[in-house]
Amino acid sequence: MSRLATLIYGLVVYLLFLAVFLYLIGFLWSLGVPKGINDGEACGPVLALLTNLLLVSLFGVQHSVMARPGFKQLWTTVVPPAAERSTFVLLSSACLAALFCWWQPLPGALWDVRGSALGGALMGVSAFGWGLVLLSTFVIDHFALFGVKQSLFHYLGRELRAPEFVVRGPYHLSRHPLMLGFLIAFWATPWMTVGHALFAAAMTGYILIALRYEERDLHEAHGDDYAAYTRRTSMLIPRPFFRE
């Protein structure tokens, strides 16, 4: 793959990711998208449950396996190193798109406070969660996280240095504010159906499992610096009166 092709590939994948990310927000809010999480007719509760769990598992396995350093070493013998992150983002986006397409609604409301002050507050909390996700990506280098920086540096013939361990912004309060933002966004809704609760619970389980592997990788990559960081911060929920 030429340098120009790698750059175009990285930019196109990034734009596709943005579309999928925005669709995810609309999907969970059931707002502004062709199909929301509660739209459509289920194929029966048991089959719907199995289908939805399979879709979440597909995303979880792809996202976790391809993020591991050992897999990356093998994968870059197949794809150019400059396109590795973009390919990861592309396949993650494809798994989410499949989830949107084949998700089966499960009716029955655990709570429904739409149109009330509480419902508005829950929408605000969800928006805060999405904002925390976006902020966290920029704090840790948004464009490298989604592969654009790798393809751009490759095009310019520049070497991309390995990331240094630096604590900024919300990472002073939580080791994984990005994932905390997702959890807030998934659970804060004025209309919690059985299907939405299944999605939120399954994604929560995936996040908690995936973070254990990510923590191990970060310990191996940053050694004593990360060990000290773990002693003064919580993994997800910020500790009160945190001090560095």
| Residue 238, in any domain of the structure | no
> 162 lies in which domain range?
3-232
Is 45 a domain residue?
A: yes
Kindly state whether residue 227 falls inside one of the protein's structural domains.
Answer: yes
* Helices and strands (DSSP H and E) totals, the chain: 9, 2
The answer to whether residue 241 scores a pLDDT higher than 60 is no
Chain segment 134-189, per-residue pLDDT in tens: 999 999 999 999 999 999 999 999 988 887 888 999 999 999 999 999 999 999 99
Whole-prediction pTM: 0.92
Provide the percentage of residues in the chain whose pLDDT is more than 70: 98
pLDDT at 243 over 80: no
Query: How many C-beta atoms lie closer than 10 Å to residue 57's C-beta?
Result: 13
Count Cβ atoms below 10 Å from residue 59 Cβ, excluding itself: 19
For residue 155, tell me if it sits in a domain.
Answer: yes
Residue with tokens 């925005």: 22
Q: What is the DSSP string of 178-192?
A: HHHHHHHHHH--SEE
Give pLDDT tens digits for 79-119: 999 999 999 999 999 999 999 999 999 988 999 999 999 99
User: Is the residue at 239 inside a domain?
Assistant: no
Residue 130, pLDDT > 90, answer: yes
- Dihedrals phi, psi of 192, to nearest 5 degrees: -100, 100
Residue 70, domain member (yes or no): yes
Report the alpha-carbon distance of residue 218 to residue 161 in Å, rounded.
17
Read off the pLDDT of residues 42-70 as tens digits, 9 standing for 90 and up. Answer: 788 899 999 999 999 999 999 888 888 88
Q: Domain for residue 74, yes or no?
A: yes
What is the per-residue pLDDT for 160?
A: 86
The total number of structural domains that make up the chain: 1
